[in-house]
Structure 1
Amino acid sequence: MMTIARIAALLLATAITATPVMAQDKDSGPEARPLYNRDRWLPPTVPTSDEVLRIPVPADYNAPKGSFVLVGGRLFDGTGKPARPATVVVEGKSITAVLSPGNRNWPADAVVYDVAGKTVMPGLIDLHTHLTNFRSADAANVYSSAGISGAESVMRGQWRMGIFLQAGVTSMRDVGSHGDAPFVLKRAQAAGEIPGPRIFAAGQLITQTGGHAAIHAFGPGFPEVPNGNPNSMTRIASGPDQWREAVRIQFAKGADLIKLASEYNQAEITAAVDEAHSLGLPVTTDTETQYIDMAIKAGVDSIEHPLPRSDAAIVLMARRGIASVPTFVPYRLVMRTWGGGYFGSTSRRFELNEESILAMGRKMRRAGIKMGIGLDLVTDWPDYMPGAYINELESFELIGYTKAEALVAATKTSAEIMHMGDRLGTIEPGKLADIIVVDGNPDEDFTALRKVRTAFVNGRLMLQDGRLYKPPHEEVPMPERK
């Protein structure tokens, strides 16, 4: 005969498991195709570009010449291991060895950097940026031809890249910028022509007529164009065919991912995700409430922001491996600088406050959802760096991460969310040399990130003594007269 205590325990166990079982019964799998398997057709011996699409390239593609060594420092490698004394060896664009102290097995001609008393770690990642977003001084020109100038957009992007690099960010995932500007910046940075983080660009954000950020799609001479100004940061799409076409256009420009925003119907987002996945591009969404249910059903790869969703949606996100980029900082800034709330938006029809965003983060953390760092610093908010990045790390602490776990989220986990975990996010042999040197111990005190002294991106020195670095021009001799 069962005791009352035993009956109560069984009832409690049933209550705890009821929601996941019910959610599982309703989970028939994503509607869109899975992400194109880039590894199936390319064996590891074939060199490929250091981007999501992995295009075949020559073996020495985009690799700087020479080698360098970071000696005497304390290594936080991003893998989850405790920090330890170590020497890091880089040849070309790759980390070739991590040596124990005293081991001098590195190339004889390597440049040696003495980093005694400092922490060497993977470069930080920001998964949610808008490189070309308007500054406050541009507000009056948002709808003028000057406000959507490609040249001005590139200049705004270069301004942001410099600020982020000085804060230790070596990779930025741009999730919506003007026209082809993010791709111009991506190519210039990759070639070593401008200092800054490497860029993974979505191109234009895709939404429906009247959807989130649709207001940014138009300008003088373009109000009647169905899809908006081609130089804007947003593309309007209506119906599944247009959503597919919008994805193809970003792909043709060189996109590393696709960014969608509510509102949409199920057929539209499923078509967009299906098209993106068939091309090998992951999809992230700026979405909320019922639109999160549609995004999960379609099969997206990640969801931005700490916006409301059901407990069943959280269960499905965890089960399907859908990542989250919670972006606590921008909502905190909205509430503190925009009159106390996110007002005037049809995609924000719910209660939103500093407690609710952390509560959502805690729910996702408890469910085991993979979470990375993104700041969404629009307008003049990059001026808050590096404090804004530190604040986001502190937010991860508030939802249950340790300091070291938060830094792993900022490096290794964020690289995995970008589908670049095999090349970025940790300091290990074979990884790309995106490395920062910090005057202090950021795994013990986040404020040490205010003292990023040196940064290498792709093996190139781009930050020296806390200042942006560009090597001097090398003169090419004039051709002789024949």
Structure 2
Amino acid sequence: MKKMICGLLLAGAVTAPAMAQDKGPEARPIYDRSAVLPPSVPTSDDVLRIPVPKDYNVPKGSFVLVGGRLFDGTGKAARPATIVVQGKTITAVLKPGDRTWPADAVVYDVTGKTVMPGLIDLHAHLTFFAAGDAVNVYSAANYSGAESTMRGLKRMATYLESGVTTVRDVASHGDVPFVLKAKQAAGEIFGPRIFAAGQLITQTGGHAAVHAFQQGYPEIADKNLNSMVRIASGPQEWREAVRMQFAKGADLIKLASEYTQEEITAAVDEAHSLGLPVTVDSETQYIDMAIRAGVDSIEHPLPRSDAAVALMAKRGIASVPTLVAYRVIMRGSGGYFGSTSRRFQLDETVNENMAAKMRRAGVKMGIGLDVVALAGTDYLPGSYIDELESFTRIGFTKVEALVAATKTGAEIIKLGDRLGTIEPGKLADIIVVDGNPDEDFAALRKVRTAFVNGRLMLQDGRVYQPAHEEVPFPNARK
């Protein structure tokens, strides 16, 4: 008997390491366009890296921010500095007293204020239904492209007023997020720059699709082109669903459980072959499948094993915990009810413990809100401040939390070379705060000025739109 037990223990000791062995992702890595596009070739300011003319979407002129304290987003302590911007690019960070900037630059005196990179929200749904749609969230009006656009425009303004200059939209209706992205990039509408996933991809009855079937509207998630959800069955359909989002202009792909290993591996492989990162809303065994496939980030603080957390850290898979979203749900209704994709314990303590475990393991973590339904963006900027405070409870310092909100967020989007810090060569996404947010997050309630891509979009705390310039009327033909 003793020999049998020893034999079993020995067998377990041999088997366990083999089972835990990391053989690497099943899907191919993200296609790196920098291998074929050198830095000398101007490209679009998104993960697509499409070649563009040198002056594409570049505003004219220059401006200077003088007299403020700079929190540059790199993790360095705030310091007095002058920031010089030419077109859309930060060209210099000068010491106080240095006035080597263009003679025709517009000078903004920001004495007594903090200049910092614009905040990033990694988990937005710009077109998600509003409070007035809650009686029947699957109504025809809710799935109207016009309705979706109006919701998106309103939320973009609120984000901007709250200091958020970049949102990663991880599922919205139809082509609306791509239209909003293009118009914002061209300076035609005002709000944060947008990185859009398009439709969320899941299986029949999967997360975000199940409710449509329960309420008798399967066609919404299946056939309606304006749906937020794309249902796919089998590896080839999951590949095709990814290709559809890419064709519309996606900056990333959003997947959600439930799925098979073959389905998620096919989707990640297809996305990576196109140069797109993948984020996933999943839990328990589905997180194991996502890690095995090779996803780039995982949303929410949902249950996962210690082994899964360790593999996330080892492979560089980021986490966007969205703790504030669950706090709003728990405090509003007492729990997360009626979802087959949330069959486990969820409360504020459990969620923060999971996030703290990822922090201790060294998982890269960024700020995302996912506070979309009902009051949604009306909670801003409080909801963003709440998430920052959550990060300090799980082990971040205030400075580290703000770095997660800026520099790390840009890295998770795969635009760390262009966004997230105030350094020469970076895009001019800058906010001016009346106070010291690196010492007190509440200062973020006083964002006075915001520039996105070098364009003034917020002035005196309100969305700024320049006056219309009349185009000369054509002369009569002679």
Per the normalisation by structure 2, the TM-score is 0.94
- Give the aligned partner of residue 441 of structure 1: 436
Alpha-carbon distance between aligned partners in 1 of 2:180 and 2:199, rounded to the nearest angstrom: 14
SS in 1 for 2:218: coil
Aligned-partner Cα distance in 1 for 2:376–2:32 = 38
Q: Distance in 1 between matches of 2:456 and 2:56?
A: 18
Any idea what SS the aligned residue of 1:421 has? coil
Q: Compared with structure 1, are the counterparts of its residues 480 and 23 closer, same or farther at alpha carbon in structure 2 (3 Å cutoff)?
A: farther
Q: Give the match for residue 377 of structure 1.
A: 371
Structure 2: which amino acid aligns with 1:180?
Answer: D
What pairs with 1:154-173 in structure 2 (closer than 5 Å)?
Answer: 154-173=149-168
1:135 counterpart = 2:130: yes
The residue number in structure 1 matching 2:180 is 185
CA distance in 1, matches of 2:387, 2:361: 20
Instruction: Please say if 1:323 is aligned against 2:354.
Output: no
Measured after TM superposition, the shift of residue 223 of structure 1 is: 3.3
CA contact 1:411–1:426 (8 Å) conserved in 2? yes
CA contact (8 A) 2:212 2:220 kept: no
Q: What letter corresponds to residue 356 of structure 1 in structure 2?
A: V
- The aligned residue for residue 431 of structure 1 is 426
Counterpart code for 1:440 = G
Deviation string for 1:264-299 (max 9, x for gaps)? 000000000000000000000000000000000000
Cα distance in 1, alignment partners of residues 444 and 219 from structure 2:
47
Task: Identify the residue that residue 193 of structure 2 maps to in structure 1.
Answer: 198
Say whether 1:412 aligns with 2:407.
yes
From the superposition, tell whether residues 285 and 115 of structure 1 become closer, same or farther in structure 2 (CA, over 3 Å): same
Q: Which residue of 2 aligns with 1:144?
A: 139
Tell me the residue number matched to 2:353: 359
Deviations 1:74-110 (A, max 9, x none): 0000011100000000000000000000000000000
Cα distance change of structure 1 residues 420 and 224 upon mapping to structure 2, 3 Å threshold? closer
CA contact (8 A) 1:217 1:236 kept: no
Q: 1:226 to 1:416 in 2, by over 3 A?
A: closer
Out of 172-181 and 223-232, give the one that drifted further. 223-232
Task: Name the residue aligned to 2:206.
Answer: 211
**Mapped partners of 2:221, 2:96: distance in 1:** 62
Helix, strand or coil at the partner of 2:354: helix
* Partner residue, 1:118: 113
Letter in 2 for 1:69: V
How far does the alpha carbon of each residue in 1:435-477 deviate from its partner, in whole angstroms, 9 at most, with x for none? Answer: 0000000000000000000000000000000000111111101
Matched, 1:84 2:79: yes
Contact 2:212 2:221 in 1 (8 A): no
Alignment correspondent of 1:308: 303
CA distance in 1, matches of 2:165, 2:211: 28
Match of 2:265 in 1: 270
Structure 2 match to 1:50 = 45
* Cα-to-partner distance string for 1:302-347 (whole Å, 9 max, x where unaligned): 0000000000000100000000001000000110002x11011111
Residue 141 of structure 1, CA deviation: 4.1
Q: Provide the identity percentage.
A: 77
CA distance in 2, matches of 1:471, 1:220: 46
Which letter does structure 2 place at the counterpart of 1:373? Answer: I
Residue 64 (1) aligns with residue 23 (2)? no
Secondary structure (helix, strand or coil) at the match of 2:30 reads: coil
1:6 matched residue in structure 2: none
In structure 2, what residue type is equivalent to 1:368?
Answer: G
1:140 positional shift: 3.0
Offset at residue 415 of structure 1 (A): 0.3
Provide closer, same or farther for how the CA distance between residues 317 and 106 of structure 1 changes in structure 2, counting only shifts above 3 A: same
Q: Give the drift of 1:144.
A: 2.4
Q: 1:99 to 1:374 in 2, by over 3 A?
A: same
Aligned to 1:10: none
For 2:197 and 2:212, how far apart are their aligned partners in 1? 16
Pairwise CA distance, 1:216: 6.3
Query: What's the secondary structure of 2:377's corresponding residue?
Result: helix
Decide whether aligned partners of structure 1 residues 154 and 216 sit closer, same or farther in structure 2, where only a CA change above 3 A counts. Answer: farther
Q: Does 1:393 align with 2:408?
A: no
C-alpha separation between the residues in 2 aligned to 1:476 and 1:222?
Answer: 49
Query: What's the counterpart of residue 232 of structure 2?
Result: 237
Q: What is the CA-CA distance between 1:230 and the residue it aligns to?
A: 1.1
Q: By how many angstroms is 1:227 displaced? A: 2.8
**Contact map agreement 1:122 1:411 (CA 8 A) in 2:** yes
Alpha-carbon separation, structure 1, partners of 2:20 and 2:128: 43
**1:11 corresponds to:** none
Instruction: For 2:342 and 2:74, locate their aligned partners in 1 and report how far apart those are by CA, in whole Å.
Output: 37
Give the alignment partner of residue 73 of structure 1, picking from 59, 68, 74. 68
Contact 1:327 1:392 in 2 (8 A): yes
With over 3 angstroms needed to count, the CA separation of the structure-2 counterparts of 1:226 and 1:144, relative to structure 1, is closer
Matches of 1:134 and 1:45, distance apart in 2: 43
Q: Which amino acid aligns with 1:377?
A: V
* Structure 1 position 219, deviation (Å): 12
Q: Is the 8 A contact 1:123 1:170 kept in 2?
A: yes
Give distance in 2, aligned partners of 1:28 and 1:245: 27
